[in-house]
Every structure is written in structure tokens, then in C-alpha cells.
Chain A
Amino acid sequence: MQRQLITARPDWQASVEAIGFDFHTFDAAPYWSEESFWAFTTAEIDGLEKVGNELHGMCMQAVQQVIDDRRLALFGISGLAEDLVKHSWERKDPHLYGRVDLAYDGSGPPKLLEYNADTPTSLFEAAIVQWYWKQACFPQADQFNSLEEGLIERFRRLMQGIPSQDPRRHLHLSCVMPNVEDEGNLKYIEACAIDAGFTTTRIDIADIGWDRGREKFVDLDEQVIARLFKLYPWEWMVKESFGFNIPIAGTQFLEPAWKMVLSNKAILAQLWEMFPQHDYLLPASFEREKIMAQSPLGVVRKALLGREGANITLYDASGSVLESQDGAYGAEGYIWQARAPLARAGARGSAVLGVWLIGDEARGMGIREAEGLITTDMCHFVPHVFS
């Protein structure tokens, strides 16, 4: 794999806006960046696909194990959240998508940094924007990207066996509004659902209603919400005042509640315990001392429920702080993970590879570059090709 510099298309803003990408720039800094791209070999992409599939499979085993061993408390999952996790897992509630973030520079095997299993974003960029960039700039090259086909297939499966007048053929999609980035992801998922035959309604998460008479969640037209795609964290929903209505409402959620186990960074310690020394895992534990000896580059402390790089601290081998991001998380606890070498992006920067799972299959990849070592909400999305 190689990072290559390139001149951005002179009309790149207009080009990406023409395909509906209206959040390419934040606070005057480009989020979408086509001044560089990553070129992979076919063998490397085959490997990344395999890694994504295998890690996801291991994660599914880990969910079962965490429930069987009554370890949800270690994840800070108790009470209502615990009930929702267990019941949704027992019912085999279907899931739609997720993104495993990998440390990989082309030398050793890719290593799992975390699993964004509940509310992953940058899907539209990975599925559509980088595809159009590739078609414009490198039409002969290929790209690890069958995300759209995967999403539509997945939605078709969610449609199977549901009678024609059933309210489950209507998908509600919700996030915090207004929010141009989250709504961009939401609208893309909506378009895929429509392609698969769903009718849809978008609704601000704060506009969702609870009908006390019918004991159902309802939209602004007071239509029952039978299926809800929510780009909103489960751990927030269960704490909010409608949380206790979830078990009686009968709404089917995407992602399902059991994804709370995978989006929680405690899963990293669980995986290391179940699959010690696995090629694709980094040593991880609730206790720093337990991984020190296996962490020649130092360790990283991550808040269990942190998002977008918040509340992450990197230490070098001597224990000095290399880099740190503060944030609103951490009260729920921390996990320690061995520090992995990241692909270098420029003088100081680094790149993280996000392999997308649609259902249980790795179907694409998006790469984000950060100025330093922690990938935050200030990162850049950078396209890739392979040949």
C-alpha cells in the first residue's frame, strides 16, 4: 500500500456536490481530501476483506460469550440496557452495518483498533463519493466498494416474508437534526432502503412520539414506527425518558440493541481474552499492567463509550504522554490497548482503515487521515484504489 500525492480536481467541490455530498468541508477545512489517495495491491485488499470478515465473526462469538458469562456489567451494561441486549440477541434481531477500524501500514497483519458497530458514519463517503472520484480520476483501477449493492441486498432480506400491508415495510430513519453529516448518512441509507422496496420517513430523534394509548412509538403523523433506523447511540437512548418504553413498543431497531456490546471498547479486552495472541488483535485489558510487557510501542487508554477520538490518551513505552484528546466521556470506565503503528500520512499524520461490514460481510473500505495519531472529528476522508 502506498500513499500518493495528487492534484485535486480543480472543480472538486462542484463535482462532489453534484452527487449530493454537501458536507465536504467543516469550518473552512476540507473533510473530503483528494490531494492524496491510497493505492493497494489486489492481495492487500483480499487480505483486508478477510480480516474484516474474520474479526466480525470473532465479535459475534464474543457477544454470545459476554452474555453467557454474565459479563455485561464489565461493559457498564445493566438494568434496561442488559434486558434489551439479551432479548435482541436471543431474538436474533437483524443488523445492518458496522465499521471495523484497523491499524495497518502494509507490513504486519492489520490490527483491530475498535468496532464502530452501533452508529458508524462516513458510509456515504465510502460508498459514493470515493467511487465517483475513482471513476473520474482512475477509471481503470478498482476499489474495495460494493457497499451499495450490499446495503440493498441487506434491505431486501429485511423485506422477505413480510406481507404487503405490514407496517414493517415502512422504515423510519432518525438522527439528531439539523446535522448535515448525520443527515447525509441517513439519506443515503434511506435511498438504499427505497431501492429495496421500503417506503420511508425521516424524523428528528426529538420528534419521535410515544402514544400512551397504543403503547407505540409514532411519527409526526402519528403513524406507528414499526422499524427504526437510528443514527443515535443506544447507550443514550436507554438513559433517556423514552428508554423504558422500548421493551413494550415492539419497534424493531437498526442497529439492534445487542450492538451495544460491540460498540463498547470493553469488547477489545474480551476479544483478547478469548483469542489471545490473535494476529488481528492488539493486547487489551482493563488493567494497564497486564499488557505492558506486550506493548513495545506503549499503550493507549480509551474511554469505553468514547466517540470520534474523544478521551483517548497515547503513552510511549516509557509512560510519557505522546498525544491526548479530552472529551465528554470516561465516567463509564476505560480500556487499555497496546499501541500499534499506523500508516504514515505526511510528516506527522496517520491513517486508519475502516473496513465496512454490511450484514456479516466485508463489503468496502474508507480511509481517514489525521494530523496526529488520534483520528478525531477533524480528520480527512481520503479515497483509495487497488490494482
Chain B
Amino acid sequence: MIRTGRMAVLVAAVSAAALLSGCDDKQPQRRSQIGTPQGQQEQVVYRTLDACLAQAKDMDGVQACRDGYAQAMAKMAEAPKYETQSTCEDVYGPGNCVPRESVVHEGGGGGWFVPYMMGYMIGGGFGHSTAYYPVYVDRGGTTYAGGYGNGTASTVVSNPGWHGGAPAAIRPSSSSVVRGGFGSTAMTSAVHTTGG
């Protein structure tokens, strides 16, 4: 029944990995950096064509919105492809994938699923300041601009500024999480440990 064992193995791991290193990582990593990295300029993303048109100052602006939307839609041909709807939704969330032929009209090669275009933007982080790109959002809320080159490239949009409303996957990080609902009793009592 007793009692000795192979503690040495774990203790090495405990003291090195968890216990000692744990002392200096007290600063919690408050991530949720999507949309708030320091020193990074907000990148305008239009949720819809209408969201872009609403901001157009003149007829040139209106034309740029229309052309840009068409360009972005055309680049949906290079959107990431998935064999089934469910594998696509695993990445982009339920309801956020569509049959490829519904957005790409090039004939042939049917049966694929692609993420729904959640918006479009100029530049897309590819260094092409005049080209427009489709924007996707994965289920974790990360925003990508994609569709440059041979169909595999995409970039993370680190600080998207959504015009026309952010997609649902992004909203939790900005609005629906509340904190501080546990711990108040410990704050108001003078115990030095909550253990016993």
C-alpha cells in the first residue's frame, strides 16, 4: 500500500516548469488584441457595398466602392477551399461557409466550400495600395484578407475597423464578455488564504 514512488521525475518538472517560472509571469496576458494593438493603424473594412457607398464623398468614391467590391468578389476564386461544409465551418463557424459555385462563376471544379466574404478592404496588407481584397473571419474572431496570388495567400488584419457592423464572431471580444463576477468575497474579507 505504501507510499514511495517516482516523485523525483515530476518534482523536477514542477519546480522547473511550473513553480519557478510561475513566479514571474504574474502579468496576465490580456490578449483580445484584435482591434487594439498599440501603434497599429486601423484598417478600414467595409462590411457590405452599401457600407462603402454610405461613406463615398463623390461620384469617384461611389465608383471606387463598386469597382472594389467587384474586385474582391472576383478574388473569391482564390478563397481557401474545403471539401465539405463541416470542415469549412470548423474553421469559420456555423453558417459562415457557402458552396464555391455560388460566389465563383468560372465553371467546373464544383463541390467545394469556401468561407463567406465578411467584408472587403483596400490593400489587404499585401502592399498593393490600389487593389481590393475579400475579408474572412474565423470562428475565433481573427480577420484575414485573402485572395492574392495562387489562392493560398492570406494576411491577418490585425486592427480591422469595420464599417457597417462587425461580424458576430468578432463581437464577443468587444462587447459580450463581462468580468469580475467572482472574487468579491475575498476582496472584502481579511483572510490570507481561501484554503483551509
Residues of chain A having any CB pair with chain B under 8 Å: 18-20, 22, 26, 45-46, 49, 116, 118-122, 127-128, 131-132, 142-146, 148-149, 152, 174-179, 181-185, 187-188, 190-192, 194-195, 202-214, 218, 220-222, 231-233, 236-237, 239-242, 245, 263, 307-308, 310, 328, 364, 377
Q: Are A191 and B14 in contact (CB under 8 A)?
A: yes
Q: How many residues of B contact A (CB 8 A)?
A: 49
Whether, in the assembled complex, B102 has its beta carbon less than 8 Å from a beta carbon of chain A, the answer is no
By the criterion CB–CB under 8 Å, are B4 and A211 in contact? Answer: no
Contact among A20, A213, A232, A245 with B176 in the assembled complex (CB-CB below 8 Å) = A213
Chain B residues closer than 8 Å to A20, beta-carbon distance: 11, 14-15, 18-20
Q: Are A176 and B1 in contact, with the CB atoms below 8 A?
A: no
Nearest 9 pairs of A and B residues by beta carbon: A121-B195, A20-B19, A242-B181, A206-B183, A20-B15, A236-B185, A213-B176, A191-B14, A205-B183
A177 to B11, CA, bound (A): 23
Across the interface, name the chain A residue whose C-beta is closest to B173. Answer: A222
Interface segment, one of B22-30, B40-48, B64-72, B116-124: B22-30
- How many angstroms between the C-alpha atoms of A52 and B2 in the bound complex? 15
In the complex, which residues of chain B have a beta carbon less than 8 angstroms from the beta carbon of A242?
Answer: 181-182
Main secondary structure of the interface of A (DSSP, over half): mixed
Kindly state whether residue B13 has any CB partner on chain A within 8 Å: yes
The answer, among B10, B172, B192, for a CB contact under 8 Å with A222, is: B172
For residue B32, which residues in chain A have a CB less than 8 angstroms away from its CB?
A: 220-222
Give every chain B residue within 8 A of A132 (Cβ-Cβ): 11
A125 to chain B, nearest CB (A): 11
Docked-complex contact A187 and B181, CB < 8 angstroms: no
CA A239 to CA B22, docked complex, whole Å: 30
Complex contact A307–B183 (CB within 8 A) = no
> Could you name 24 residue pairs across A and B whose Cβ atoms are closer than 8 Å?
A20-B14, A132-B11, A142-B3, A146-B2, A149-B5, A149-B6, A187-B22, A188-B18, A191-B19, A195-B13, A203-B28, A205-B182, A206-B183, A208-B181, A208-B183, A210-B178, A220-B28, A221-B29, A221-B31, A222-B31, A222-B141, A232-B186, A233-B194, A307-B196
Binary per-residue interface labels of chain B (157-196) against chain A in the complex, 1 for a CB within 8 Å, 0 otherwise: 0000000000010011100111111111111011111111
Judge whether B59 is part of the interface by a CB distance below 8 angstroms: no
Contacting residues, chain A, for B192 (C-beta < 8 A): 26, 179, 181, 377
In the bound assembly, the distance between CA atoms of A223 and B180 in angstroms comes to: 16
Contact of A195 among B1, B4, B10 (CB under 8 A): B10
List, in ascending order, chain A residues with CB within 8 A of B186's CB.
176, 205, 232, 236
Say yes or no: A49 contacts B182, CB within 8 Å. no
The residue on B at minimum CB distance from A121 is B195
Specify which chain B residues have a CB less than 8 angstroms from the CB of A195 in the assembled complex. 10, 13
Which residues of B sit under 8 angstroms from A175, Cβ to Cβ?
Answer: 194
Q: Of A18, A191, A205, A209, which contacts B13 at CB under 8 A?
A: A191
Using CB atoms, name the residue of chain B closest to A101. B196
Apart from A211-B177, A222-B32, A308-B193: 4 A-B pairs, beta carbons within 8 A: A116-B196, A149-B6, A176-B186, A191-B13
